[in-house]
Amino acid sequence: MRVETTAKVSANRKSVRITTTDTYTGALVVLDAVHMPTGCATWPAFWSNGPNWPVGGEIDIVEGVNTNSDNQATIHTSHGCTIPSSNPSTLGITGTVVGGTNCAAAETGNAGCGMVATQSNTYGVGFNNNGGGVYAMQWVDSGISVWFFPRSSIPSDLSSGAPVPDGWGTPMAHWPSSGCDPSTFFSKHSAIFDTTLCGDWAGNVWESGGCAASTGVSTCQQYVQDNGSAFNDAYWEVERAAKLLREVAVSKTIVDVETVEDTIVFSSVSHTEFATALKGRTVEDAQRYGKVFYLTLSGEGRHPVMHFGMTGMLQVKGQLATYYRETPRKASVDWPPRFMKFILHLKGPTDAETTQVAFLDARRLGRIRLCASPLTEPPISALGFDPILGMPSAHDFKKGVRKRSCPVKALLLDQSFSAGVGNWVADEILYHARVHPEERCNALSDEQLAALFKQTSEVCRIAVSVNADDSKFPDDWLFKHRWGKGKKEKHTLKLSDGEPATIKWITVGGRTSAYVAELQKLQRGGAKSWSASNMPEDEADESDLTPLSGDEEEKVVKKVTRKRKRKSDSEERPRVIVQY
């Protein structure tokens, strides 16, 4: 849901507004978003209202303008609705009150009763850099409340689809029924997403809010008409309510487990021990960190922690496996599937039949473990920040980069620095940041570090938002053009002046790295590079396997990264999996 980005428009720039056709009176509304519109001239909101405004009332759950960093939640009503105090402690909120205690729209110049969050990750750039988060609005007889949960702090009951607001703690905003009875002032609401450009709020504070000075344009309207590229970040992106395992497994009991012996994929646990540990327990949640995903199970015992490697995937009985690139012609629903390592038999309280989910791994690059506390034990405990679940602050990111002297590409691939960044994603980040893969971390400029910080978050966010379906990647991504096929087929990547870009390859940190020579210039001497006609043979065979340890790493990694002759063009590009 985005704003039009045509370079220049002569009248109004197109935006978006989506309204539900169903209405509700009283509700628990949950928004899980990974990105929201931001930037000068934008006025995004997620809100609801009733008929005959303001008689049916309005509830603004997420709202702000321009470069704001703190979300504002507000109610607008007809005459007679008030809040008992402007003191946060009296109201029992974490936010602060703005606009007074009278919520009547007609009597307050439509200001209503607003409450502003005190955390800078609740709106705009801070929200997006943190991987977004979850907003929840509860509308009950005792009042209306709004909570915000950063991506890394979402309550498990919300993640599992069984929310219990009583356990969420102090809300960001709360309008008690003592002065504003919801049954009197709110009814038959529709939920609404929209992004207004300029308008009464963003346009009226254009100069006082600093946008006139920062853009060099005197009016909001002129800025909107002349600067389409300024709205590249003006979009809403809503996270799916549940991934595959949540859809088919959460709240179901594992009534049986089939396993196949594999002493490489099953790590520090036998296949029979794995089956015994899971059988009879209920799946409470499914989560991911970096390239690792795990299930939280009921009762005593350890929990399954899994890593796909390059060729791992899940398959539900009766469906094709979850390929992250195009589904092969030979894909099958035959059961049990080839290369199966385990099958979970799941059954809910009201299910007539079991659901079966299999873990497949053709090249045996994945790992299956059991952990008593997945987040505090290896492999997850040894990982760095997850760019989707929790980017560090810009200050901490720059500090972490500058204290290292290795090439920046090697740092991005270091899972103890940034969890989940694989080889092609690291190249994509560096391409958009315009940084050469061999630049030394401690020699990067402030401008390069700022670009690296932004693109580490942005590239990962885009890749995950489309489930790493490369057909949906932007056309200007290096990924679309980096797979050399010799002299007969040339890539189509163009520079801004229309001339063809020069894609070269070098080895950095033992990994083949693609870069664009005209845009990513090294300020010192570099290693040997290759053009598309003589790209290294092993480019498509590199493993994104999370490093193991000791002798196991040396033996296994050497085995799976050996060169092999390509059989067809279809094998030249590695299958894209959800890891960044």
Max distance between CA atoms of the chain, in angstroms, equals: 78
Q: Distance between CA atoms of 496 and 434, rounded to whole angstroms? A: 13
Contacts of 536-539 with C-beta under 8 Å, sequence gap 24+, read: 536/505, 536/507, 536/512, 537/563, 537/566, 538/512, 538/563, 539/483, 539/484, 539/505, 539/512
H/E element, 408: helix 408-413
- Angle between helix 394-402 and 446-465 (nearest 10): 110
H/E element, 379: none
Given 4, 58, 458, 499, which residue is catalytic?
58
Q: Distance between CA atoms of 232 and 2, rounded to whole angstroms? A: 8
Mark residue 339 as left, alpha or beta (left: phi above 0; alpha: psi -120 to 50; beta: remaining).
left
Q: Distance between CA atoms of 171 and 149, rounded to whole angstroms? A: 10
Strands (E) across 112-264 are located at 113-116, 133-140, 143-150, 173-176, 190-197, 237-238, 253-259
| Pair of tokens at residue 138 | 């509860």
Q: Distance between CA atoms of 209 and 215, rounded to whole angstroms? A: 12
H/E element, 30: strand 27-35
Distances (CA, A) of 249 to 51, 84, 274, 358: 40, 45, 17, 12
CA-atom Rg of the chain in angstroms: 26
Q: Distance between CA atoms of 501 and 498, rounded to whole angstroms? A: 9
Angle at 484 between CA 482 and CA 485, to 5 degrees: 145
Q: Mark whether 499 is an active-site residue.
A: no
Q: What is the DSSP string of 256-294?
A: EEEE---TTTB-SS-HHHHHHHHTTPBEEEEEEETTEEE
Q: Mark whether 553 is an active-site residue.
A: no
Strands 173-176 and 72-76: unpaired
**Neighbouring C-alpha atoms within 13 Å toward the C-beta of 273:** 15
Q: Distance between CA atoms of 8 and 192, rounded to whole angstroms? A: 28
The conformation of residue 123, written as its DSSP 8-state character, comes to: S
Given 63, 239, 428, 439, which residue is catalytic?
63
By annotation, the residues acting in catalysis are 58, 63
